[in-house]
Structure 1
């Protein structure tokens, strides 16, 4: 395992040492002529964790990454990251994912310690192939901004923190001391990264994970619910339209989907609202969009939306 620890106020030394871990870059203090760098880096196999704090406001202008991905997660403070034609305000609630090849630059405010996970591109592509069942046809490109407050994101972050803690004790009775165990944990962490943070294969990955053979009745019921999700449907309405009993319909959903027709309807409505809020233009109304997709009780809708997506509908609309 590779390990580096460093504290320095020398700008050039900070630039060189950080560059050795990541890539060559320009480092420009913004308010002072110095930095107060604190750095702890640990690497095992194709993954590494870096805890980094420049201590002063700085601008970092690296060369494009060639062979690895970075996930930067501030503990506090803020930074502006420009990457792949996007500008993202990084905070404790919004991580930043940097993909290889595209140029980027970052400006960190004073007091912005952050944890960085870096993963070799080959590891990401290998795990994606295993999840999809076929090799990816183009490079994986993550969305630059990554919410950290959803249940999935919090679970993934706990995995990163656990990985960092075990790396700190590698060689001293760590779970990562056995190569096979370490490799499996790395695979799980990268797999969860691909599931948690959106990228150009997310839709295909989601479809692959959710695909289950469905009987004709359930397929027809799902299609009917999706086509009429904005109407005040009941399970009785769906069963009557399909010419079966409510009990038969519910049993088929339980057996084939592990769910109920009404749970499927709620999920369908929530997904449609989420999709529309993400693409809505200026002046759009959360209430109007929710009503259009079948929600009547706004308080209940907001609670269900936050549970499913980890943020309020208005936050999605502003994003």
Structure 2
């Protein structure tokens, strides 16, 4: 997998025939790194050694693919954070050492993928000289836009500052990269179909987000719910305050100046439930508190009627499902 990435197009025709793709000149290597990744510092681990570098790159949308190696043991550091780029290193051959969180480091082997957001954390690497990588350079802003569009929020630095390995061997991620590079067309030095190009760009960002978050122990769906917009949070406050009066969802939406459909869509997207389900839970919670604080002479019926319940049978079924006991049990236990 990826053996011919950036070497051949989908038809087997050679890519980048008229471009400089190898060099033994450090100035050329450094210029390639500055434009493909970002300004950075490189130095051979053996003083005076010249590179034997592979330098190939092509763009798919806003994502730059590069097939790269120094061809000699090299340390790279001082990656410029102002460039705002994320780098994904997919090791095809040899070994590269990268930092993890804290003071830990890891050596990536063939089949390993490593991600670092150079706009949010420091980065360095040590290449063994026999290595070869297929790298992706992705603008941080593009990842933010993708997260906002699909998850409804932009993750905080607890995601972006995680430097980590994801995938191994013949991972689904590498299969996706293989598909992406097989769409390249030598006649255009890029994607032949702009529609496919946009879809590949988005799919790559989404899959990277998923892998990154999973390995960092973060749940993007939970994060989306925590980042609900103002009108959803205001609706929750209103329903909590007025649950005893049993407002309709239309009344709640009208108070917020939005439609009931917009409110419903917001709850489904950011809370994973309907506003009716939220209100039902709030009303049942309030009923339970009223039963637990009941005064002598109060009954389940009187308390429930005072809180807007008409169908006591349906209320009892919902109550049992939520609390594992009937309203009568709650009232009885309160009195004992």
Q: Could you say which TM-score interval applies, normalised by the shorter chain?
A: 0.5 to 0.7
Checking the alignment, whether the CA contact within 8 Å between 1:5 and 1:39 is kept in structure 2 is yes
| Aligned 1:76-155 pairs, distance under 5 A | 76-82=93-99, 85-86=102-103, 87-99=105-117, 100-136=119-155, 140-141=159-160, 143-149=162-168, 154-155=171-172
Q: SS at 1:23's partner residue?
A: coil
**Once structures 1 and 2 are overlaid, which stretch shifts more, 45-54 or 95-104?**
95-104
* Residue number in structure 2 paired with 1:198: 213
Pair 1:47–1:170, CA change in 2 (3 A): farther
Checking the alignment, whether the CA contact within 8 Å between 1:125 and 1:140 is kept in structure 2 is no
| Aligned 1:149-164 pairs, distance under 5 A | 149=168, 154-164=171-181
Pair 1:149–1:180, CA change in 2 (3 A): same
Pair 1:199–1:148, CA change in 2 (3 A): closer
| 2:68 pairs with one of 42, 49, 52 | 52
The separation in 2 between residues aligned to 1:187 and 1:122, in whole angstroms, is: 13
- Structure 1 length-normalised TM: 0.57
Checking the alignment, whether the CA contact within 8 Å between 1:51 and 1:113 is kept in structure 2 is yes
Q: SS at 1:104's partner residue?
A: coil
Paired residue total = 216
* Residue number in structure 2 paired with 1:30: 45
Larger Rg: 2
Following TM superposition, by how much is the alpha carbon of 1:108 offset from its aligned partner in structure 2, in angstroms?
0.3
Following TM superposition, by how much is the alpha carbon of 1:110 offset from its aligned partner in structure 2, in angstroms?
1.8
Pair 1:115–1:150, CA change in 2 (3 A): closer
Following TM superposition, by how much is the alpha carbon of 1:39 offset from its aligned partner in structure 2, in angstroms?
1.2
- Structure 2 length-normalised TM: 0.55
**Once structures 1 and 2 are overlaid, which stretch shifts more, 88-97 or 105-114?**
88-97
The separation in 2 between residues aligned to 1:36 and 1:168, in whole angstroms, is: 27
Checking the alignment, whether the CA contact within 8 Å between 2:57 and 2:67 is kept in structure 1 is yes
The separation in 2 between residues aligned to 1:106 and 1:134, in whole angstroms, is: 31
The separation in 2 between residues aligned to 1:205 and 1:169, in whole angstroms, is: 38
Alignment pair present for 1:167 and 2:178: no
Following TM superposition, by how much is the alpha carbon of 1:185 offset from its aligned partner in structure 2, in angstroms?
1.9
The separation in 1 between residues aligned to 2:21 and 2:199, in whole angstroms, is: 30
* Residue number in structure 2 paired with 1:186: 201
The separation in 1 between residues aligned to 2:185 and 2:45, in whole angstroms, is: 32
The separation in 2 between residues aligned to 1:202 and 1:124, in whole angstroms, is: 18
Pair 1:13–1:135, CA change in 2 (3 A): closer
* Residue number in structure 2 paired with 1:249: none
* Residue number in structure 2 paired with 1:14: 29
Alignment pair present for 1:41 and 2:57: yes
The separation in 2 between residues aligned to 1:92 and 1:119, in whole angstroms, is: 21
| Aligned 1:224-243 pairs, distance under 5 A | none
Checking the alignment, whether the CA contact within 8 Å between 1:30 and 1:58 is kept in structure 2 is yes
* Residue number in structure 2 paired with 1:69: 86
The separation in 1 between residues aligned to 2:185 and 2:59, in whole angstroms, is: 10
Structure 2 residue runs without a partner (length 5+): 1-15, 225-268, 278-323, 326-336
Following TM superposition, by how much is the alpha carbon of 1:5 offset from its aligned partner in structure 2, in angstroms?
3.9
The separation in 1 between residues aligned to 2:29 and 2:188, in whole angstroms, is: 28
Checking the alignment, whether the CA contact within 8 Å between 1:95 and 1:146 is kept in structure 2 is yes
